[in-house]
């Protein structure tokens, strides 16, 4: 029996870091329900990689749409129905966009980034909290970015949204501190995923900034998704009940 035996995990985002989280938690006994915004085939392929019986299914989710969140994560939603309830939420939402200085960024893009990376996680936390508080147990881990601590040149909207996750976690931690419900943030630095590869290969500011950020990591390399998943697994474990409202950087010392 693994550390997560019997646990019921709603995983928002099934690519890159999300896939590593699913593999880690399923290997230790949890059942996982995954969501995706557009990559249905990717979610299905991930489910096929997990141990038999550990994949509870998947659904499309627009995390910034309250109706979509309620349909999946709210009371009577598809995730809870498939899992028999939700006691663990891991959110890995991110917005793909080229880097650009704020003065040249389209206001519509700014709003879409903030809705995806801050409003979406907030709506998801709101959806699952009542069940967790009533049950007396829950673990919430929001995956952000160390841009929320240091800021990233050309990524003001995302850096602001990621910093907002810190305030969200601390506020909700105060609301739930008398229960065994915790909420924490894991903030990776550059991580070896398809997203990073695409940004490094991009022209203009995006490629230059990401290459410079990677060079600045004291460890001298990008994180492996499994290393980020290990930090998430710790914060999602039952043993981490005295850790809440915290932000853990998994960045090779980038923001130490």
* Geometric angle at alpha carbon 149, from 38 and 109, rounded to 5°: 40
> Residue 137: in which H helix or E strand, if any?
strand 137-143
Q: Is there a domain that residue 79 lies in?
A: yes
Q: Is there a domain that residue 139 lies in?
A: yes
The pLDDT value recorded for residue 129 is 97
- Confidence band, pLDDT 50/70/90 cuts, at residue 196: confident
Count the alpha carbons within 13 Å of 95 in the hemisphere toward its beta carbon: 28
Domains identified in the chain, total number? 1
Please give the average per-residue pLDDT across 176-203, as a whole number.
Answer: 94
The pLDDT value recorded for residue 174 is 98
Please give the average per-residue pLDDT across 101-118, as a whole number.
Answer: 96
Please give the average per-residue pLDDT across 199-219, as a whole number.
Answer: 93
Q: Is there a domain that residue 2 lies in?
A: no
Locus of tokens 């005295």:
242
Q: Is there a domain that residue 251 lies in?
A: no
The residue among 210, 194, 188, 114 whose CA lies nearest residue 156 is 114
Tokens of 223: 């994180």
The residue among 1, 2, 6, 18 whose CA lies nearest residue 137 is 6
Tokens of 152: 């990233």
pLDDT tens-place string over residues 121-145: 999 999 999 999 999 999 999 999 9
Range of the domain at 77: 8-245
pLDDT greater than 90 at residue 67: yes
Q: How far apart are CA 168 and CA 140, in angstroms?
A: 12
Q: How far is CA 22 from the centre of its chain?
A: 12
Residue 240 DSSP code:
G
* Longest CA span, the chain: 54
Percent of the chain topping pLDDT 70 = 100
The pLDDT value recorded for residue 97 is 92
pLDDT tens-place string over residues 79-104: 999 999 999 999 999 999 999 999 99
Average confidence score pLDDT of the chain: 95
Q: Is there a domain that residue 254 lies in?
A: no
Q: Is there a domain that residue 128 lies in?
A: yes
* β-sheet bridge partners, residue 34: 11, 58
Q: Is there a domain that residue 214 lies in?
A: yes
The pLDDT value recorded for residue 1 is 52
- Confidence band, pLDDT 50/70/90 cuts, at residue 11: very high
Q: What CATH number does the domain containing 88 carry?
A: 3.40.50.720
Q: Is there a domain that residue 87 lies in?
A: yes
Provide DSSP, 71-111: HHHSTT-HHHHHHTS-SEEEE----------GGGS-HHHHH
pLDDT greater than 80 at residue 221: yes
pLDDT greater than 80 at residue 2: no
Provide DSSP, 164-181: HHHHHHHHHHHHHTTTEE
Please give the average per-residue pLDDT across 9-22, as a whole number.
Answer: 95
The burial class, CB within 10 Å (0-12 / 13-18 / 19+), for 193 is buried
């Amino acid at each position: 029996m693994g550390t997560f035996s019997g646990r019921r995990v709603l995983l928002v985002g099934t690519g890159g870091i999300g896939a590593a989280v699913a593999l880690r938690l399923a290997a230790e006994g949890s059942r996982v329900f995954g969501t995706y915004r557009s990559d249905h085939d990717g979610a299905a392929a991930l489910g096929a990689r997990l141990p038999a019986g550990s994949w509870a299914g998947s659904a499309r989710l627009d995390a910034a749409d309250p109706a979509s969140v309620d349909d999946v994560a709210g009371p009577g939603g598809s995730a809870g129905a498939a899992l028999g309830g939700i006691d663990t939420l891991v959110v890995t939402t991110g917005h793909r966009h080229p880097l650009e200085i704020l003065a040249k960024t389209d206001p519509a893009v700014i709003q879409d980034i903030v809705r995806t990376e801050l409003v979406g996680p907030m709506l998801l936390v709101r959806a699952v909290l009542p069940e967790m508080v009533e049950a007396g147990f829950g673990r919430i881990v929001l995956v952000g970015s160390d841009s929320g601590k240091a800021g990233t040149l050309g990524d003001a909207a995302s850096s602001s949204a990621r910093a907002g996750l810190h305030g969200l976690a601390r506020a909700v931690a105060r609301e739930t501190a008398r229960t065994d419900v915790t909420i924490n943030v894991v903030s990776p630095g550059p991580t070896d995923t398809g997203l990073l590869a695409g940004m490094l290969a991009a022209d203009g500011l995006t490629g230059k900034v990401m290459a410079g950020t990677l060079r600045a990591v004291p460890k001298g390399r990008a994180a492996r998704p499994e290393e980020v998943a290990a930090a998430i697994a710790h914060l999602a474990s039952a043993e981490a009940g005295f850790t809440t409202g915290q932000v853990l950087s998994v960045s090779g010392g980038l923001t130490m």
